[in-house]
Structure 1
């Protein structure tokens, strides 16, 4: 039995942090619009947004070395780091607005202050880190960053990582206290609780099976109620596909020209988690290392203090795995069914170009627990096998597309694909992902609702005071906004050191 539902203004597919963010923005900008959310799982934030399925780092390029690259002349390009930091500041501002407006409460449930550190070994890496520090220190977004090669200072910063270290190789670290740990699962649930109070309609255990354009320009979605197995049809003027790895299939079903020549390659993640409270209490930082030569950007090793379910945890990883699934709760046929006549050459080109990635994934899949522990001991020399166990994190689908770099180029970022008329948009890609959700959803609004942006601008600036301005070019505005969001979000663990 099927039923035709009345048309709504907006449909959000996927109950993750992206849909939660877009819905929250729209309810402030156009409160009269009707919004429906469809999610095939039983509750929100269970796939990529779930706290166990991602690193929980508030990505601001404070410690992630893959966001700064060394140029042929030896200089350090910090442009990507600056861009990502500015985007995270936008997220902080929006979350702060929601807290100040009493639209959400208890920010400590989803964001906590935690030092962010970079740690490297070897003369070449130490030289790189020092040059990176010098390049970033001149930028207002990275004020307060410290650098040291001194063993005693390192023992103060990371006692667990320094205990038992016998290597004679040079070692160096940077540290900045303005970093954060973000529980994106808790944030997603908090935002959806807020949207429920705004009469947003939620449909859990509902799988969107198809979508097509209607004669009046709307989109009609074929939806299966997984409780009853009944088919439903829902219409909307605008559709956002925020289904994590599942977005690609639905984007392809839309048939829009912008969906052509795009493929995806799934990579699963695994982390070691410490179950010994005594060890957990000896470490208080997110410490990022440098990816090994030949390893892809998503393989950067890091030792993280996490706050999950109001408990402090310690995780190390990620270790890559391979599954043909595009979602953790997806199908083993996801990769195969994503290959279409219009993207098969793109996928084949990527396969030929990315042999090193294939080799890396095979090596990672073959790792034993002891081999993973050996990698952990590069961070914690005295790590004991019995204190650590493996947990399977989420699936990430890396976008493959044709670019100026050639056919079948593997992308390592987050991007929006939208129809020319703005009636539908999909989010694809991986890191920095959730940390930049607000900036990415503003991009969706700009692409899909250009006719409303002039009217919405005042409200957007109320929510995000730096909207339309460069924080890196306005040191005083950055300091003012950063101080305000620190106070509102409860992040004043330590006064920042300004130069």
Structure 2
């Protein structure tokens, strides 16, 4: 008993000494938690706007971009809403709602402008190392889905952002676009497809590594690997005290103060947000969903397909489970990926703990969690069926998109872990929300990003939104506005509906990123495309 008392006293004295040491040191301007694309994007933006600011980034793993930002843990679609059918739901009257698709595409165009600025100013390497043209296609079969795709295409043409998209119900044309999905298919099956040749494949892991490597060379930026943030508290002086365990040094703890904190730790963001104690965090819970992909690198298969082909999700499936067969360009090598096959785990991170889900539960979010489970029984049944799926059934799912596929040519790999948002709702008690959401302290000094897709593809606009709340006065200043206009030429102006601005931005980003584009104002036009790699 005496030994325990002495040990506890020593720990308290040590913690007090660490707090005193932190209090005596000036606070850093910004702390970033998590070494993924979100933190890298915010750090890169802030260093352009405020070169003299001190910024520290803490990542618990020994490498950056190893969770959701890793190229093998996501589809790398560069979500532009060209091919993702879940962004264009059908209304009860049969019309197509394209508002989400337009919003996602506008956001992706902002990200493209930001990456173009990084390339132009040599903050990252050659664009081919992280972004490449891969056409985006939607592909459906059956009378009902063909009618849906036709209406979707026609409605999307109302926006200048989707000019250049092609539509066909001719199986011979589809075979030219993507031979693999047509060979061996029933010849009289009713099919339809759309194609956007200016679609891209993005290696977000490589992009993140390049951004942080550049930041690490700049004064005032410190990158700490194998450092886990274990607590976040508000100090009496309104700064935030961050307690960090140094995993390089047996978990030795230290504290650092910061004026502003961003929690961009993927699935771990929820528990860290809860530790901050801000009122806005109450009522939030997380629903973890994982995934597996079938992957092949066989040259005779990989070279026969150059497209990201998305279909319609199964009934009850979450949006992130939309089936797709994708060309991937990772670290200079081409591969094909098909999936995802949903999985369930109580982990919030791929390299997380089995107790993540349970440790996130509290009296504020138990009711929302229960209500979401009750209201989403179809989703639970879907996840169970996916978990029990046999190799034969996985092959059948693949053959719906690649009729001549053989399972022995493919390898099953684990993809990333995603945590979908559960939040309080006055009417339902709790709702399951797909997408991303920013949760912030009242004064904006601390913010956390929760949720999943489209995520990385919209990192730049999400971080711009965060800066408008975290740094209100500076964001409204002429100095920041002018610099942001340089970084994002369309800053503050929508592209949709403005053909001249759309063309100018597409030309600008395509030139710097070495990509192809089509001119707005010419729906379906193909004569402005550059040369795409051949499919054999």
TM-score (norm 1): 0.98
Q: Which residue, 344, 352, 355 being the options, matches 2:366?
A: 344
Q: Which residue, 401, 405, 418 being the options, matches 1:396?
A: 418
Query: Which residue number corresponds to residue 289 of structure 1?
Result: 311
C-alpha contact 1:123 1:169 (8 A) present in aligned 2: no
Relative to 1, partners in 2 of residues 1:252 and 1:299: Cα closer, same or farther, differing over 3 Å? same
Query: Which residue number corresponds to residue 138 of structure 2?
Result: 118
Deviation at 1:473, TM superposition (A): 2.9
Relative to 1, partners in 2 of residues 1:345 and 1:473: Cα closer, same or farther, differing over 3 Å? same
Question: What is the CA deviation profile of residues 204-235 of structure 1, one whole-angstrom value per residue up to 9, with x for unaligned ones?
Answer: 00010001000000000111001112111011
**Deviating more after overlay: 318-327 vs 363-372:** 363-372
C-alpha contact 2:159 2:497 (8 A) present in aligned 1: no
**Residue 354 of structure 2 corresponds to residue 332 of structure 1:** yes
2-structure distance, mates of 1:100, 1:108: 14
Q: Which residue, 374, 387, 392 being the options, matches 2:396?
A: 374
1-structure distance, mates of 2:218, 2:115: 17
Q: Which residue, 134, 147, 151 being the options, matches 1:127?
A: 147
TM-score (norm 2): 0.91
**Residue 514 of structure 2 corresponds to residue 490 of structure 1:** yes
Query: Which residue number corresponds to residue 90 of structure 1?
Result: 110
Query: Which residue number corresponds to residue 215 of structure 1?
Result: 236
Q: Count how many residue pairs are aligned between Structure 1 and Structure 2.
A: 499
2-structure distance, mates of 1:341, 1:463: 44
C-alpha contact 2:368 2:425 (8 A) present in aligned 1: no
Question: What is the CA deviation profile of residues 113-169 of structure 1, one whole-angstrom value per residue up to 9, with x for unaligned ones?
Answer: 110000001100000000000011231000110111111111101111111112633
| 1:262-301 map, 5 Å | 262-301=284-323
1-structure distance, mates of 2:353, 2:102: 38
2-structure distance, mates of 1:143, 1:259: 41
C-alpha contact 1:346 1:407 (8 A) present in aligned 2: yes
The 3-state SS of whatever aligns with 1:70 is coil
**Residue 205 of structure 2 corresponds to residue 205 of structure 1:** no
Query: Which residue number corresponds to residue 186 of structure 1?
Result: 206
Q: Which residue, 484, 487, 501 being the options, matches 1:477?
A: 501
Query: Which residue number corresponds to residue 66 of structure 2?
Result: 46
**Residue 29 of structure 2 corresponds to residue 33 of structure 1:** no
The 3-state SS of whatever aligns with 2:415 is strand
Query: Which residue number corresponds to residue 9 of structure 1?
Result: 29
* Unpaired stretches in structure 2, ≥5 consecutive residues: 1-13, 524-536
Deviation at 1:496, TM superposition (A): 8.2
**Residue 46 of structure 2 corresponds to residue 22 of structure 1:** no
Q: Which residue, 459, 484, 493 being the options, matches 1:460?
A: 484
1-structure distance, mates of 2:318, 2:453: 12
**Deviating more after overlay: 34-43 vs 271-280:** 271-280
Question: What is the CA deviation profile of residues 458-485 of structure 1, one whole-angstrom value per residue up to 9, with x for unaligned ones?
Answer: 1111110111111113210111011110
**Deviating more after overlay: 261-270 vs 160-169:** 160-169
1-structure distance, mates of 2:231, 2:359: 14
Deviation at 1:492, TM superposition (A): 2.8
**Deviating more after overlay: 433-442 vs 199-208:** 199-208
Question: What is the CA deviation profile of residues 269-321 of structure 1, one whole-angstrom value per residue up to 9, with x for unaligned ones?
Answer: 11000132110100000000001223222211000000012000100001100
Q: Provide the aligned C-alpha RMSD in A.
A: 1.4
Query: Which residue number corresponds to residue 282 of structure 2?
Result: 260
2-structure distance, mates of 1:462, 1:404: 43
The 3-state SS of whatever aligns with 1:77 is coil
Computing the radius of gyration over CA atoms, which structure comes out larger, 1 or 2? Answer: 2
Deviation at 1:447, TM superposition (A): 1.1
**Deviating more after overlay: 264-273 vs 395-404:** 395-404
2-structure distance, mates of 1:214, 1:184: 35
C-alpha contact 2:164 2:518 (8 A) present in aligned 1: no
1-structure distance, mates of 2:230, 2:433: 27
The 3-state SS of whatever aligns with 2:72 is coil
C-alpha contact 1:275 1:389 (8 A) present in aligned 2: no
C-alpha contact 2:302 2:336 (8 A) present in aligned 1: yes
Query: Which residue number corresponds to residue 272 of structure 2?
Result: 250
